[in-house]
Amino acid sequence: MDPVISVENLSKQYVIGHRQGEQGGSLRELISAGAGRFARRLFNPLAHRSSERTTELFHALHGVSFQVAQGERIGIIGRNGAGKSTLLKLLSRITEPSGGRIAIRGRVSSLLEVGTGFHPELTGRENIYLNGAILGMSRAEIRRKFDAIVDFAEIDRFLDTPVKRYSSGMYVRLAFAVAAHLEPEILIVDEVLAVGDAQFQKKCFGKMEEIGQEGRTVLFVSHNMTAIRSLCSRALLLHQGALVLDDDVATAIDGYLGGSCEQVHRLEWSEGAAAPQNSSALLRRIAACDRNGVLLETITTDTELQIEIVFAVKSAGASIGLTLIVHDTDNSCVFSSINNSEPNWYGAPMPVGTYRSVCIIPGRLLNNRRYTVTVNLFGKSFTDLVTVREALRLEVLDGVAVRRDYFGEYGGYLRPDLEWSTARV
Amino acid sequence: MSENQPPVTIIEAGQSVRHYWRDLWRYRELLFFLCWRDILVRYKQTVLGIAWSILKPFLTMVVFTLIFSRLAKLPAGNVPYPVMVFAALLPWQFIATAFTEAGMSLTGNANLISKVYFPRMIIPASTILVSLVDLLLASIVLLGLMFWYDFLPDWRLAALPLFMLLAAASALAAGLWVAALNVRFRDVANVIPFVIQFSLFASPVGFRSEVVPEHLRILFSLNPLVGVIDGFRWALLRGSAPLYWPALLYSVLLVSVLLLAGIRYFRITEKRFADII
């Protein structure tokens, strides 16, 4: 059978850099940039052209080829910036490719965002019609499905209230409800399960499964491996704009979880090299290990982490203090910890020798995001600071222990597994 | 196209979308929905609601009548001055608002452009449609005025749809250009109000074209709005403003060229809108 989607050697480039002659910038900037070049050439006619700031190309996607058969449900996975959204935008014709070719057989609906085109001033009823039309439904089609949409969204009492007065939950429910009633031959979905409360998410998830079982072709982007695993049969793994793996869903997810790029799980200083040090001690090694001291390959939200700090005391009798600071990638401090709970050596004079300190970050605490770990070492009576900024870079992947039956996103820097209880009073 | 052979869409770099006009036709309902949305939103939380559509042109007409006829004492011929002004205010207001709204329309709908596909031309086109609805509503005022002054149009009224078409075409032509340009150069948004202001004085709205000295008439007629507005007056006011053919033909020609070039420019640039908006 012929493929419904056939992608050949697809690529997309964006121009980045300061001189945005191709891409945008105001007219004045364009003119002044031109004048600046002219002036430079005027005053320095021998300067080589290449000394000018050239435009830089960013390859959001390159050389991607794959085929999709009728009724397949395909997950698209990869880290942030891997090109997933770009691929969806090209497939849904929002932007044009820089190279390559896509052939699509059938009607495509893409859902890159929930509630695109919702107008806050309009009522729920009006927005159903508007959003439906924007997503490509005809008026007759919307009228036919209207009751089902209202039912699904559970907002019938607020149908004639402007959506600006809706709670965010209601808003999202209504938006998803409209989208869920699309009946395209090919459905392209970007991370929309990450909305609403747990109960509604379950409902959305059920709807997605239903769509898949109806024999529609579905392309589904998500960071949520649980959702990908249960919805899709096959997955494409993108990395830095290239398709690195096109396989059944289990293999592709393993590839995603295993591929530890740009992560630093260990930092070591060899003997005699310029290790970070003060007059009392020098650092030998900082590493993220498991309970047995084995370097961790993959970290999920379930993993218990041992941050290992190995240092050598140079001058006898020094008392060494250690602190650990965990930052988010946006550089906000998530938490920090001091070794003053350490029972054996804290505050005590240490003989010359090599020591191994371990700080345990329990499982079910971190969220699935990237963190950096900064280590401070203090010498004599907590002065004489040595800092190793961003010694470790950890990417914590999504685990299942805390999430249980929830499929959505967890907000915040941490995802602690807190205890809940309910009793009838 | 049979049931089991759905249409194939080919997406390639640099290729203009095939079946563009078929797509445009398929999305025609969206055109009406966007138009409907804009009209609906405009009068939400207003007390007078849709009455504003009639009140606004009426008030403008009162101001014009006071300034041009009472203070500046410009002649109106044998036509009641308010009727004369209003017959020109209709097309001018239509083109001015359609042009402004169309110019801002793409940037105002940036979220749609970056998240959903549809032929982008629908967005500026829907703003033209909104202004057309305003024009029809404002015509009620003109009708009232004509009854009040007992100055009803004759057979020439039959030509009015043609001039409406010309007005809509000029609004769309200018609108497509500014809308597409504004996506890349936001400077355009700042220029629009000046163009509108200037065009009010350069167009025969508060005065008759005959007031312009003969030797300046050609220069005056370089403004394509002159042909449109005089056409409206001719059709509505029993020909009391005679048609000045050179100006009219020039208008038709210029508008056609601008429109065709505008469509072309729009279609070349629209594929990149989502990247630069």
C-alpha span between B226 and B201 (Å, rounded): 11
* B1 touches A: beta carbon within 8 Å: no
* A32 touches B: beta carbon within 8 Å: no
* Two tokens, residue B174: 């200018």
Nearest-CA neighbor of B127 among B117, B137, B135, B118? B135
Q: What is the pLDDT along chain A (425 residues), one digit of tens a residue?
A: 678 899 999 998 887 654 444 444 556 666 666 666 655 555 554 444 443 455 677 888 888 999 999 888 999 988 767 888 889 989 988 888 888 899 998 888 888 877 788 888 899 999 999 999 988 888 899 999 999 999 988 888 898 999 889 887 888 888 888 888 888 888 888 876 656 667 777 777 788 788 778 888 889 888 777 788 888 889 999 988 899 889 888 888 888 876 645 678 888 887 655 688 888 888 999 999 998 989 998 899 999 999 999 999 988 888 899 999 998 876 688 999 999 999 998 888 899 999 999 999 999 999 988 898 999 998 866 677 888 878 888 889 888 888 888 888 888 899 999 999 999 98
Say if CB B111 and CB A116 are below 8 A apart: yes
Measured over the CA atoms of residue A168, residue A169, residue A173 and residue A174, the dihedral's sign is: negative
CB contacts under 8 A, A 56-95 vs B, are: 89-95
pLDDT above 70 for B216: yes
* A135 touches B: beta carbon within 8 Å: yes
pLDDT above 70 for B23: yes
Query: What is the DSSP code (8-state) at residue A55?
Result: P
pLDDT in tens, B221-242: 788 888 888 888 888 888 777 7
Beta carbons of B10 and A102 less than 8 Å apart: yes
The pLDDT value given to residue B5? 60
C-alpha span between A154 and A122 (Å, rounded): 18
C-alpha span between A369 and A300 (Å, rounded): 10
B7 interaction partners in chain A (CB closer than 8 Å): 105-107
* B41 touches A: beta carbon within 8 Å: yes
pLDDT in tens, B66-112: 877 766 666 666 778 888 888 888 899 899 999 999 988 998 888 88
A186 strand-pairing partners: A108, A217
pTM of the model: 0.71
* A251 touches B: beta carbon within 8 Å: no
SS3 per residue for A102-129? EEEECCEEEECCCCCCCCCCCEHHHHHH
HSE (CB half, 13 Å, CA atoms) of A93? Answer: 20
* A133 touches B: beta carbon within 8 Å: yes
Beta carbons of A130 and B37 less than 8 Å apart: yes
The pLDDT value given to residue B223? 84
Distance of CA B153 to the CA centre of its chain: 23
Please tell me the distance in Å from A318's CA to the nearest CA on chain B. 59
The pLDDT value given to residue A65? 93
Beta carbons of B33 and A93 less than 8 Å apart: no
Q: Any residues with CB less than 8 A from the CB of B230 and at least 6 apart, and which?
A: B204, B209, B241, B243, B244, B247, B248
The pLDDT value given to residue B16? 61
If residue A206 lies in a helix (H) or strand (E), which one and from where to where?
A: helix A198-213
B30 interaction partners in chain A (CB closer than 8 Å): 133-134
Say if CB A417 and CB A404 are below 8 A apart: no
C-alpha span between B62 and B81 (Å, rounded): 10
Please tell me the distance in Å from B55's CA to the nearest CA on chain A. 23
A234 strand-pairing partners: A74, A248
C-alpha span between B115 and A189 (Å, rounded): 11
Beta carbons of B29 and A107 less than 8 Å apart: no
A359 strand-pairing partners: A307
* Two tokens, residue B232: 């409206």
Beta carbons of A26 and B187 less than 8 Å apart: yes
C-alpha span between A403 and A409 (Å, rounded): 9
Nearest to A26 among B40, B113, B185 (CB): B185
SS3 at position A146 = helix
Among A174-183, B55-64, B210-219, which stretch is predicted with the lowest mean pLDDT? Answer: B210-219
- In A160-264, alpha helices (H): 168-180, 198-213, 225-231, 249-258
Determine the length of chain A.
Answer: 425
A185 interaction partners in chain B (CB closer than 8 Å): 6
The pLDDT value given to residue A5? 92
The pLDDT value given to residue B153? 83
C-alpha span between A133 and A142 (Å, rounded): 8
Which residue, chain included where needed, has tokens 């630093």?
Answer: A264
* A102 touches B: beta carbon within 8 Å: yes
Chain A / chain B CB contacts < 8 angstroms: 111
A62 interaction partners in chain B (CB closer than 8 Å): none
Report the b/e string of A340-359 with b at 16+ CB within 10 A: eeeeeeeeeebeeeebebeb
C-alpha span between B134 and B233 (Å, rounded): 19
The pLDDT value given to residue A20? 41
Beta carbons of B117 and A110 less than 8 Å apart: yes
